[in-house]
Amino acid sequence: MRVLGIDPGLRRLGWGIIDMQGSRLRHVANGVCESDSADDLATRLLSLHRQLSAVFERYAPQLAAIEQTFVNKDAVGTLKLGQARGVALLVPAQFGLPVGEYAPNKVKKTVVGVGHADKGQIDHMVRMQLPRVEIAGPDAADALAIAICHAHHVGAQTMKIRA
């Protein structure tokens, strides 16, 4: 199964794709969709939609997962993140995929082993689980961690069904 993880963001939306075969994971690709902060919001969201759609067309993932939004002190920033997250939910739906959603602490606990890991720890553990991976930046590392988290949870569900 090919799994796409998405780390939503308006400026930088990270994505990472892995192949899952049983308990084995293999890196396929990762990157970042970027929008120009000089553009109006609608143009930025359209740009993210087009870039993420191109990732789907090129790599044809079969499963998708996204990080849940946390609310921070900046209401405007939270709203903009929510709008970018809407694009990140819409694109998989357009390609007929359900989307798994995971809290940031769940992703960190699954990949690192602790729910309050920092970005450096996430990057390190992603590299440990996907040897020889070249990561396009922190947003892509987070997206790969989300894909790994989803693969582990989907794999566990599949094992329960078979038992």
For this structure, is 123 an active site residue?
A: no
| Average of per-residue pLDDT values in the chain | 92
On the question of pLDDT at 122 being above 60, the answer is yes
The residue range of the domain holding 105 is 2-162
139 annotated ligand-binding residue: yes
101: left (phi over 0), alpha (psi -120 to 50) or beta: beta
CATH number reported for the structural domain that contains residue 24 in this entry: 3.30.420.10
For this structure, is 139 an active site residue?
A: yes
pLDDT digits (tens, 9 = 90+) for 61-114: 999 999 987 766 788 888 888 899 999 999 999 999 999 999 999 999 999 998
On the question of pLDDT at 163 being above 70, the answer is no
Stronger pLDDT, 80 or 124, i.e. the higher one: 124
For this structure, is 7 an active site residue?
A: yes
pLDDT band at 155 (very low <50, low <70, confident <90, very high): low
Among candidate residues 67, 118, 134, 142, the one labeled active-site is 67
134 annotated ligand-binding residue: no
pLDDT band at 157 (very low <50, low <70, confident <90, very high): low
pLDDT digits (tens, 9 = 90+) for 20-40: 998 899 999 999 999 999 999
Q: Cα–Cα distances in Å, from 44 out to 38, 52, 79, 98?
A: 9, 12, 14, 24
How many structural domains compose the chain?
A: 1
Distance of CA 8 to the CA centre of its chain: 7
Q: d(Cα 6, Cα 49) in Å, to the nearest integer? A: 12
